[in-house]
Structure 1
Amino acid sequence: MSHEPEDRRMSVRIDETDRKILSELQRDASRSLDEIAKAVGSSKTPVWNRIRKLREAGVIGQQTVVLDAEKLGFDACFFVLVRTSEHEADWQRRFLEALRARPEVQEAHRLAGDIDYILKVRVPNARAYDAFYQALIGEVKIHNVTALLSMEELKSTTMLPL
Structure 2
Amino acid sequence: MADQIDALDRKILGELQADASQSLDEIARKVGSSKTPVWTRIKRLRKTGVIRQDTVMLDPEALGLEACFFVLIRTSEHEADWQQKFLHTLQSRPEVLEAHRLAGDIDYILKVRVQNARAYDIFYQALISEVRIYNVTALLSMEEIKSTVALPL
TM range (shorter): over 0.9
Q: Which amino acid aligns with 1:60?
A: I
Q: Could you tell me how far 1:161 is from its partner in structure 2?
A: 1.0
- The 8 Å contact of residues 12 and 57 in structure 1, kept in 2 or not, is answered as no
Secondary structure in structure 2 of the residue aligned to 1:61: coil
Distance 1:36 1:120 in 2: 33
Query: Structure 1 residues 11 and 39, CA, compared in 2 at 3 Å: closer, same or farther?
Result: closer
- 5+ long unaligned stretches in structure 2: none
Secondary structure in structure 2 of the residue aligned to 1:98: helix
Q: What is the total number of aligned residue pairs between the two structures? A: 153
Displaced runs of 4+ in structure 1, greater than 3 A? Answer: none
- The 8 Å contact of residues 77 and 122 in structure 1, kept in 2 or not, is answered as yes
Q: Could you tell me how far 1:62 is from its partner in structure 2?
A: 1.2
1:142 aligns with 2:133: yes
Residue number in structure 2 paired with 1:53? 44
Secondary structure in structure 1 of the residue aligned to 2:85: helix
Identity among equivalent pairs (%): 75
Residue number in structure 1 paired with 2:15? 24
1:4-58 residue CA offsets vs partner (Å, 9 max, x unmatched): xxxxxx3871000000000010010011110000000000000000000000000
Distance 2:128 2:29 in 1: 52
- Give the TM-score taking structure 2 as reference length: 0.98
Secondary structure in structure 2 of the residue aligned to 1:46: helix
- 5+ long unaligned stretches in structure 1: 1-9
Secondary structure in structure 1 of the residue aligned to 2:121: helix
Residue number in structure 2 paired with 1:65? 56
Distance 2:144 2:52 in 1: 25
1:103-140 residue CA offsets vs partner (Å, 9 max, x unmatched): 00000000000000000000000000000000000000
Residue number in structure 1 paired with 2:113? 122
Q: Could you tell me how far 1:98 is from its partner in structure 2?
A: 0.3
1:55-87 residue CA offsets vs partner (Å, 9 max, x unmatched): 000000111011000011000000000000000
Give 1:1-162 correspondences, 5 Å limit: 10=1, 13-162=4-153
Distance 1:126 1:75 in 2: 10
Distance 1:34 1:102 in 2: 39
- The 8 Å contact of residues 12 and 54 in structure 1, kept in 2 or not, is answered as no
Distance 1:11 1:44 in 2: 23
Distance 1:58 1:22 in 2: 13
RMSD: 1.0
- Give the TM-score taking structure 1 as reference length: 0.93
